[in-house]
Structure 1
Amino acid sequence: MGAAVTFFASCVGAIPVFFIKNISNKIRDILMGISAGVMLGAVCFSLINPAILLLEHQFTDKLFIAAYLSLFILLGSFGISYLNKKIPHEHFLKGKEGGEAKSLKRIWLFILAITIHNFPEGLAVGVGMGSGTEQIALPIIIGIALQDIPEGLVVALCLKSYGFSNKYAINATLIAGLAESFGALLGCLSTVFSHAMLPGGLSLAAGAMLYVICGEMIPELHKEGHESQATAGFIFGFILMLFLDVGLSW
């Protein structure tokens, strides 16, 4: 269910591409700032915090708990970092990265970039679903779905601004949404078959998302001179996720 909700949110976000020719760089940065803030909020409140609480029920050694979480956070961040270096892709502002990017059509470079970005979000949704606990799953699903809407809009409009047709822009967004769903499936299966892996899975997803936020999103937000507006959006997104997590845990 969670994978379907987030996929639908990405689709909804891309629909306005048929009616909106473009958005200003400032609006784009604000929207992406909100998305990044929601993601960081999900990392803190919906992934790491539940992982700590789950481990505290199993272990009394605080240092062991911190080391356990740190290990999986590092594994998640290094895993996405490895994919980022090995898979050829292209960012809207940073340009081409990864392996041999020259041999691929530009549209596929963009799609691969969005896929690398979306996979950790899907992983987080899947791990939350696999927990079997609404207090863990619901904030993650709703938070990721909310940030998928502006993100889907920005991705579709950016592709359109690069000369791609509405059809290509929509299809690219849908493919990226499927990548998120695939991540959700993997995350869910890993925790359903081994509930003991839930704290590790939550921390792994947190590390992967932290890499995307710090290594991909924040640098892009600081390249067009709209740092203040993007930061305001970031803080708003973070607070929104705080309200979601606290409200849904009542």
Structure 2
Amino acid sequence: MNGHVVGMVLCALATGIGALPVLFFRRISHRRMDILLAYTAGVMVAASTYGLIPASLKLTNLYVLFFSVLIGALLLSLLEQFVPHVDLQHERMGVTLPKESLTLVMAMAFHNVPEGLSVGASFASGSDNLGVIVSLSIGLQNAPEGFLVALFLVNQGVSRRIALLVATLTGLIEMSAAFLGYHLASFAVSLVPYGLAFAAGAMLFIVYKELIPETHGHGYERSATFAFIIGLLSMIGVVEWFR
């Protein structure tokens, strides 16, 4: 049990750890912003397609996978429709800021719930291997997610420390869901493949709808493209290293 608790806590805290770099950025140029966002997008795509989707597919069939991925993307699309979209057109630190809206922050927090349930239920399933794989896949993509949330808030004019705190709190939502999933394992275990695929669909929606367009509007498309590929490969490398 103690090892499971440590795994769930570390997985959730990865969000706050990933947000730490915002404390040290003093000036973020367009080029650097595009590279960072593209690298993060690559990590998230790899986490979805190389970690979450295969883990889900091992536990269920293609029909459940397709349904859950599409539901994850659809719910975030609906969320975007009902949450006011705040475009950041003003300039700060010599750079026109990205157009991410409040939808991004809410989406990150929203899809942390099924992620947390999946982590907790996978540890409680009796298969330590499943718990490690699921928590590792989700934890590794939590870090760039935390960075995105914090960077978005800093760009809005929120202090760096408050941005770090908010990003960490989105991870604590996942931690609460993980403990709930662990204690409701008899029910939640059956939801693990749905939760994993849902999280993958949500991440893929964010990447294609928000991140990739943002990295291709300032003239640094080539640098952003290579950053995306490097992010994808680095995530695959990390997952393979821990297997």
User: CA 1:167–1:203 in 2, change beyond 3 Å: closer, same or farther?
Assistant: closer
Further displaced range: 42-51 or 120-129? 120-129
1:48 corresponding residue in structure 2: 53
> Can you give the 5+ residue segments of structure 2 that lack an aligned partner in the other structure?
89-97
Cα RMSD after superposing both structures: 3.2
Further displaced range: 224-233 or 161-170? 161-170
Q: Please, which of 135, 138, 146 is the counterpart of residue 132 of structure 2?
A: 138
1:82 corresponding residue in structure 2: 78
Deviation at 1:131, TM superposition (A): 1.7
AA paired with 2:56? Answer: A
Deviation at 1:121, TM superposition (A): 5.0
User: CA 1:148–1:230 in 2, change beyond 3 Å: closer, same or farther?
Assistant: farther
AA paired with 2:78? Answer: Y
Q: Please, which of 180, 185, 208 is the counterpart of residue 202 of structure 2?
A: 208
Deviation at 1:231, TM superposition (A): 1.7
The correspondence of residues 22-171 of structure 1 with structure 2, limited to 5 A, is: 22-55=27-60, 65-90=61-86, 92=88, 93-94=98-99, 110=102, 113-120=104-111, 123-132=114-123, 133-153=127-147, 155-171=149-165
SS of aligned partner of 2:86: strand
AA paired with 2:233? Answer: I
Superimposed CA distance per residue, residues 147-180 of structure 1 (whole angstroms, 9 cap, x where no aligned partner): 5445544554554454433344334333443445
> Can you give the 5+ residue segments of structure 1 that lack an aligned partner in the other structure?
56-64, 97-109
Q: Does 1:9 align with 2:14?
A: yes
AA paired with 1:116? Answer: A
Q: Please, which of 198, 215, 224 is the counterpart of residue 192 of structure 2?
A: 198
2:95 corresponding residue in structure 1: none
TM-score, normalised by the number of residues in structure 2:
0.74
SS of aligned partner of 1:244: helix
Further displaced range: 151-160 or 20-29? 151-160
Residues of 2 paired with 1:136 and 1:91: CA distance?
40
| Matched-pair identity in % | 32
AA paired with 1:127? Answer: S
User: CA 1:197–1:157 in 2, change beyond 3 Å: closer, same or farther?
Assistant: closer
User: CA 1:122–1:15 in 2, change beyond 3 Å: closer, same or farther?
Assistant: same
Q: Does 1:221 align with 2:215?
A: yes
Deviation at 1:78, TM superposition (A): 0.8
